[in-house]
Every structure is written in structure tokens, then in C-alpha cells.
Amino acid sequence: MADQARRSGINWAGLAVLLALLVVWEASVRFGLIAFEFVPAPSSIAAGAIRLSREGILFTDLLHTLMSIAMGWGIAMVIGISIGLLLGFSSIARKFGLASVEILRPMPGIAFAPLGLLLFGFSLQTELVVTVLPTIWPVMINTMGGVANIHPRLTDVGQTLRLSPTEIVRHLLLPAALPSIIVGARISLSLALVMAIVAEIVGNPAGLGYGIVREQQAMNPDLMFAYIAVVGILGIVLNAGVLAVTTVLWPASTRSMA
Amino acid sequence: MSQRLPKFPFLGRLLMQLPSPLGVLPLIAVLIVWQILQKGNSPYFPPPSAWWSGIVQSAATGKLLPACLASLQTILVGMVLATAAGVMLGVLIGLSRRTARALGPLLEFCRAMPPPAIVPLAILFLGYDERMKLTIVVISAMWPILLNTASAIQRIHPILLDVATSFHLSFYERIRFVAIPSVMPSILLGVRIALPLTIVLTLLVEILTSIEGVGALMITAQRNFQSGQLYGLLVLVGLFGFFLNTVFSMIQAIILRRWPPRSIPA
């Protein structure tokens, strides 16, 4: 869908549907067609967002969430890529480690929230525990797969060219595994956003996730919707941002992606 | 295209794909070392024996089994409903390029929205009950399935559609004989992405609202500082995830046995 839109410029039909939806929503709240007292009109959501950003709360919360995503994702990348490379390059590590990974991997990240609360209380550490642990897997598995799927002939070529083992790894094998690692990093990043929001809802009273809960409990539906909208936009921006960065830095890596 | 394969070698091949069982050794080693080093009943890192006694204690009060069943029920029912809704909507959206294009930005927004963000919203609208838990799970798990189905429908080779036209297939026959077989691998991939999501959301709702379930037990254990029980439940949830994941992989492998290998997504 995204490809199509890019080829033919702006997707006017899509924007029109979005706009129409907002207009219908606004009108049905204004004219009382929606009986729910909790549904604010889009205009009051926008007003709420403006009020929040004037007070500076929205920006602080956004900054906190971005920072925890960056920290959590960064830590997960370091752990995930190192273990992934180890498992990819060494068949002994695979033999004596892969089954452990496969057992731990389906563990739902949210299950670590009560554990984080037990160990660290309501704090940034809890948020990082919940964000980092599940985020490790996609990048680890993709790194391992990327390394394991390199054609053996590539190593032969390196040996024919009389490259040292480190040179083979650095100039041939790592670049060959890179596209797969980048895909893993992207999946991990969107997961980090989800888990950061989860952590802020249950474990760390700060950031956008806590903003949603806070306004829900304070019965301010307009502000709650404003926070939700910001979270959704953040999701789109993060995804598009990473895609743009990888396309610029490693054009070859995005070509093979579906 | 589909060779009749004898049953046994197929299962054998499935088993061959599993990693070496020696790989669980590090995990077991960690647990043993943990047990040996941790003598007392630490409030933060209790030894594995305390995990077991915590679970036994929880089972003795008669709360464990109903909680497990409640969570499992939400996950399974949610998964089935989400798959049905996702496939139906995905097929409808995918069949018409114009609809797909018109709904594109809206769908992208819904997909980019982290599912947990709508949990407080659903609590506000639906209140604290079983229905709310299921609604959240279905709505969030539907997206990956819907988007995968829609994009796979769009990627059906035009020749296949021409064949359907030449055969004068009806709308129903097109869906039954052309669309569904072409997109089955993608649907399964979508379900695969959605499955862990349903587990996470079920637990999240239970933790937040204390609606009956394993998540509620975990947060209660944490509040009462019953760390042994908490670790035990963590292991239980892990086994839950591992079990569901394995069962689904097998179902996927069995269904895809009839598909040509190249259409199986890596």
C-alpha cells in the first residue's frame, strides 16, 4: 500500500476519507448523535492537545517516552546483536544455547512488569526491564539468521583472496548479514515503543503512557484522546524515520524487503 | 503440486527442525547455580525451590486453575475472533484497489498505534469486565492479520485472476478457490504476529484491572511481596507462551504442507 502511494504522489482519496471521518465525528458529537458522554469532538481533542503543549506537559512526557525508547532499544540492540552474532557464527553456541533462547523467547514482555515493580518499584529501571527484555529477541534472531544464511562461498572467496579471518568477517560476512540485522532492528524499535507505553501504563508514572492513564482516571477524555493521538503519530514517525535513515545509509538493505 | 507424503517422515522433519535439546543446558545450569547460591528466602531473588512452593501454594488456594483457564480462554477466543474479522475485512479491502487506497492512511494509523494505548480508552467505555478484555484483544490482534491478508490479496498474480474470469467463477468461488489459497501463508504469518500480541494484551488488561486471570495473580503476588509465587507465575506464563507458540507452529506446518514450498514465508 505504501509503495503505491509513493509512486503516484499524495494519496488524496485516503486523506479525504480521514477528513470525512473527522467531520462526521465532529458533527455527530456537536448535534448529539453520539450519546456517550466520554466521546469528545475532534476539535476539543485538538484544543486539549494545544493546551497540554502550552503547559509543556506534553513535551516533557514525549521527551521521557522518546528517551526510554532510545535507552531500551539501544541496550537491546547491543545485547541482541552480540548474542545473535555469537549464535550465528559459532555452531557450538547454537548447539548449547539455541534451545534456551527458543524457550525464553515466547515469554510475553508484559510478564516482567510485576517483576520489575518488585525489584525496582515505580521507576525508570522498571520501564527499562519491561522495554529491553522483549525487544532483544527480534534483533537477535534476525542477526543470527542473517549470519547463518550467508552463502558459504563468500568465505571461500575471502580465503581465495587471502584475507585474514577478521577481514573476512569485517568486509564480507558482516555486510552480507547487515540487511537482516537492520530488519530486526526495525521490528525491535516498534516493539520498544509498544513496551515503553506498556511500562508507563503499569510500571513508571511518567511519559505518554502514563499521560493516557492519568487523564482517564481524571475523567478528561479530551486530554486522553490527545495523548492517544500523539502516541499513534509517534508510531508513524518512528517507523518512517527508521525507514528513511536505512534507505539513505544502506540503500541495498531496503530493496529486498517486502 | 502437492505430493502425498507419508505421515511419519513429515513429523520427523518437524522434529528435525527443533534445535538440539542440549541447548537447554545453560538454562538448567543457571537455575541450579541460583538454587545453590541463594540459601535464604530472598525478597527479591528467591531460589527456584521457592518458585515451586509459591505455585503449589497458589494452586492450593484454588485460584490458580480458574485464573489460567480465564486467561487461556481470552487468548484463544480472542485469536479466533480476530482471525475471522481480520481475514474477512482484509479480503474485502484487498479485493478493491480503490478501497485499499482510500482506507490506506487510516489503516496505517491504526497499525502504528501501539495497542496498549487503547486499553485505558476501552476501560473508560466498556468498564471493568470480561467483555472489555476480549474486545481489546480482538481489536488489537486484528490489525496484523487484516493488513497481511489485504496486501497478499493485492499481490495475487494477475494471471490467476484472468483464469478466474475465463472460468466464469462467481464471487464466492473466486474467494474460495483463488483468493484464500493464494493468501493462506500470509494469513498464517499475520496470525503468528498477532499471537504474542494477544498474550501481552490479555496479561496487560488483567494486571491493570485485576479482572480474573494470570496477570491479576501476578500483580497481587507483587503487591503482597510474595516473590516466590511471582517468579513461579513468570515461569508459568513463559511455558504458556512457549506452548501456544509451539502448537501454532505445528498447525502452521500442517496447513502449509499442501502449499508449494516457495510460497511459505521465511
- Whether residue B200 and residue A224 make contact (CB cut-off 8 A), yes or no, is no
**Nearest Cα residue to A191 out of A124, A144, A141, A125:** A141
d(CA A237, CA A243): 10
Q: Which CATH superfamily is domain A42-255 in?
A: MetI-like (1.10.3720.10)
Q: What single-letter DSSP state applies at residue B115?
A: G
Residue to mutate among B98, B110, B113, B235, with most A CBs inside 10 A, is B113
Q: Is B106 on the interface with A (CB under 8 A)?
A: yes
The per-residue pLDDT for range B230-248, each reduced to its tens digit, is 888 888 888 888 888 888 8
Distance (Å, whole) CA A72 – CA A86: 21
CB A118 within 8 A of CB A177: no
Percent share of chain A, pLDDT over 90:
12
- Which residues in chain A have Cβ-Cβ distances shorter than 8 Å to B23? 94-102
Burial of A36 (0-12, 13-18, 19+ CB in 10 A): exposed
In order of A157, B84, B144, the CA distances from B89 in angstroms are 50, 9, 12
pLDDT of A198 > 80? The answer is yes
Domains recognised in chain B with CATH numbers: 62-263 (1.10.3720.10)
How far apart are the CA of A212 and the nearest CA of chain B, in angstroms? 7
Number of other residues whose CB lies within 10 A of the CB of residue B161: 15
In angstroms, the first-to-last Cα distance of chain A is: 11
Collapse the DSSP code of A85 into the 3-class scheme (helix H, G, I; strand E, B; otherwise coil) and give the result: helix
Segment A37-48, tens digit of pLDDT: 677 888 888 888
pLDDT at A5: 44
Task: Give pLDDT tens digits for B172-230.
Answer: 887 778 877 888 888 888 888 888 888 888 888 888 888 888 888 888 888 888 888 88
A8 secondary structure, DSSP code: T
Is the CB of A198 less than 8 angstroms away from the CB of B106?
no
CA distance B174 to chain A (A): 22
Average pLDDT of chain A to the nearest whole number: 83
Residues 131-190 of A with CB under 8 A from B: none
Work out the pLDDT band at A36, boundaries 50, 70, 90: low
Which chain A residues touch B262 with a CB distance below 8 Å?
A: none
Size of interface A-B (CB pairs under 8 A): 183
Measured between beta carbons, the chain B residues lying within 8 angstroms of A208 are 117
Domain with CATH 1.10.3720.10 in chain A: 42-255
Among A residues 59-98, those touching chain B with beta carbons less than 8 Å apart: 94-98
Instruction: Determine the residue among A7, A25, A65, A115 to mutate to test chain B binding: the one whose Cβ has the most chain B Cβ atoms within 10 Å.
Output: A115
Enumerate residues 187 to 206 of chain B having a beta carbon within 8 A of any beta carbon in chain A: 196, 199-200, 203-204
For B117, nearest residue in chain A (alpha carbons): A228
Mean pLDDT of B90-107: 82
Enter the pTM of the model.
Answer: 0.82
SS3 content of chain A, % helix, strand, coil (to 5): 85, 0, 15
> In this complex, do B242 and A221 lie within 8 Å of one another by their Cβ atoms?
no
- Mean pLDDT score, A238-243: 84
Reported confidence tier of residue A82, pLDDT bands at 50, 70, 90: very high
B204, A236: Cβ pair inside 8 Å? no
Interface residue B6 vs chain A (CB under 8 A): no
- AA letter at A189: L
Predicted local distance difference test score (pLDDT) of residue A73: 93
Find how far residue A115's CA is from the centre of its chain.
Answer: 22
What would the mean pLDDT of A17-32 be, rounded to a whole number?
83
Contact partners, residue B37, CB within 8 Å, separation at least 6? none
pLDDT given for residue B264 in this prediction: 43
* B245 and A CB contact within 8 Å: yes
Asked if pLDDT for residue A72 goes beyond 90, the answer is yes
Contacts of residue A11 in chain B, CB cutoff 8 Å? 101, 104-105
Q: Chain A contacts of B193, Cβ < 8 Å?
A: none
Integer angstrom CA distances of residue A74 from A79, A80, A244, B98 = 9, 10, 19, 40
Q: What is the mean pLDDT of residues A93-112?
A: 83
Report whether A231 contacts A212 (CB < 8 A).
yes
Put simply, the answer to whether A197 touches B117 (Cβ < 8 Å) is yes
In a 3-state reduction of DSSP, which class is residue A145?
A: helix
* ipTM, two decimals: 0.77
Burial group, residue A97, by CB count within 10 angstroms (0-12, 13-18, 19+): buried
Question: Does A119 reach chain B within 8 Å, measured CB to CB?
Answer: yes
